[in-house]
Amino acid sequence: MTLSRQLFSAIFATALAISPAITAAAEEVAQELLLNPPETEELPLVRSAEGVDLAEYLWIKRPIIVFADSSADPRYVQQMQFINDRIDDLALRDVVVLTDTDASTASPARQKLRPRGFMLAILGKDGGVKLRKPLPWSVREITRSIDKFPTRRQEIRDRHPARP
């Protein structure tokens, strides 16, 4: 037997001997992660638009921005109730809801969209304004509108490809 063949045999035998130990260690780490998953800081689905750069959502989320001159505006209250009642439907569509109820401060969203009083704006993942509404919309109306976006249709096709 040549030296290289002996060396290969020794390395192979060592690997076989170590393999069960490595497998057991990997299983132990996997079990620990399953029992104690690492904490991830997930952003809330509804948050203030103050200080938020809309560019951070490009190709990741669909921002829905709810503007009002005051958080006491009945249209704002109704819109937020609609959203809170069916928040899961929005989460399925990669939506983040941003609220801006202070007309005296110029948030980046307020500067870009220039609302007058109450306004609901839906942006696409591409950052483009897809829809502006001066009145509250139900989540059903919002999701139907989102489901017509080309990127959303592609997401649906990718998740449920046609079967041959």
What digits encode the pLDDT tens for the residues 63-95?
999 999 999 999 999 999 999 999 999 999 999
Tell the CATH topology of 46-158: Glutaredoxin (3.40.30)
0.75 exceeded by pTM: no
pLDDT at residue 81, rounded to an integer: 97
Domain segments of the chain: what residues?
1-41, 46-158
Give buried/exposed letters for 38-52 (b at 16+ CB in 10 A, else e). Answer: eeeeeeebbeebeeb
- The DSSP secondary structure of 108-126, one letter per residue, reads HHHHHH---SSEEEEE-TT
What digits encode the pLDDT tens for the residues 96-149?
999 999 999 889 999 999 999 999 999 999 999 999 999 999 999 999 999 999
What digits encode the pLDDT tens for the residues 2-51?
555 666 566 656 655 666 665 565 566 556 655 665 554 556 899 999 99
